[in-house]
Homo-oligomer: A and B are copies of this chain.
């Protein structure tokens, strides 16, 4: 099922806005995007390469977005452009605007007197806005959110229901925070004295750059003494843990269940696959890609892809291989001894 919004555009409308070239009828009407497999005649799809050629042949879509080298891959009305997937994203954004939220403060919201709320901001039911907080123009704060004292929420940011931003944190412009996100909780700072843990006050902030999106139930802790910093354009998926003092460079992206330990410094344009983990105080250069399920235990100074996943297998095979894993060192030792002996045998060969 695709949700629709009623408004209809033509291919001409798209190229007027986003560039590219129409091949075929420029007045082809489009009301929604869809996959090749499920599209209808009033929907536009995109073609991303040979793997989907069969689906392209069979599609009922009304129009296609594709790259220059695929220009003749279909006879359907089409838009030829350099980056078909990015173009598709823009078309979809045009067809699926955010639901508009009425400006104003819901009658049930609690806003402290010293908070400053822009006139065009929308503050939902059961929202709490703390002292001296500043809420920018066109900000949408959905029901049940908590915005602490002195927090600043930048222009056109959107907090989905039940987001928490602790005191003194900064949220940039156009930031999207999904439900359950917690920004600025205390980092895990502890000193041990005679076997008991003493809490170290976490007095830094969490600073979320412009155009960041953070997925459901992800947590970004505040800094211990300096700030935790999420760079511009960073995209974090769900259930990610960003510990205190972490810095994530601009335009990096991380899939679900990732963990970044305290004071790690991730470069810009990095990617981390699902459940990837980076230990504390490490540095990853710009352009590092960490594979899913990979644990990074040392700093990485060169761009490239890094992996540590153990290959899976049928449980019986795994049992046999795993048994040897516990003895790899002695296997290596055996090989070493064999090499010596074989060398001797060769030397002594008659």
Please state the number of chain copies in the assembly.
3
The docked-state distance in angstroms from the alpha carbon of A296 to that of B310 is 10
* Segment from A68-76, A91-99, A115-123, A132-140 that makes contact with B: A91-99
Partner of A309, one of B193, B253, B308: B308
The docked-state distance in angstroms from the alpha carbon of A195 to that of B34 is 25
Whether the Cβ atoms of B341 and A346 lie closer than 8 Å is: yes
Which residue on chain B has the smallest CB distance to residue A287?
B195
Q: Is the interface of A mostly helix, strand, loop or mixed?
A: loop
Let me know if A248 is at the binding interface, CB within 8 A. Answer: no
Whether the Cβ atoms of A332 and B329 lie closer than 8 Å is: no
Q: How many residues of A contact B (CB 8 A)?
A: 135
Most buried by B among A309, A312, A317: A312
Whether the Cβ atoms of B332 and A331 lie closer than 8 Å is: yes
What 0/1 readout, one digit per residue, does chain A (203-233) give for beta carbons within 8 Å of chain B? 1110000000101110101000111000001
Let me know if A235 is at the binding interface, CB within 8 A. Answer: yes
Whether the Cβ atoms of A293 and B305 lie closer than 8 Å is: no
Q: A329-B320, A348-B349 are in contact. Are A255 and B251 (CB under 8 A)?
A: no
- 14 A-B pairs within 8 Å (CB atoms) are namely A38-B225, A86-B192, A88-B200, A89-B199, A89-B200, A110-B143, A128-B144, A185-B238, A197-B251, A221-B238, A241-B274, A308-B318, A321-B329, A331-B332
Q: Which 6 A-B pairs have the closest CB atoms?
A: A308-B312, A86-B193, A185-B216, A146-B161, A96-B201, A320-B329
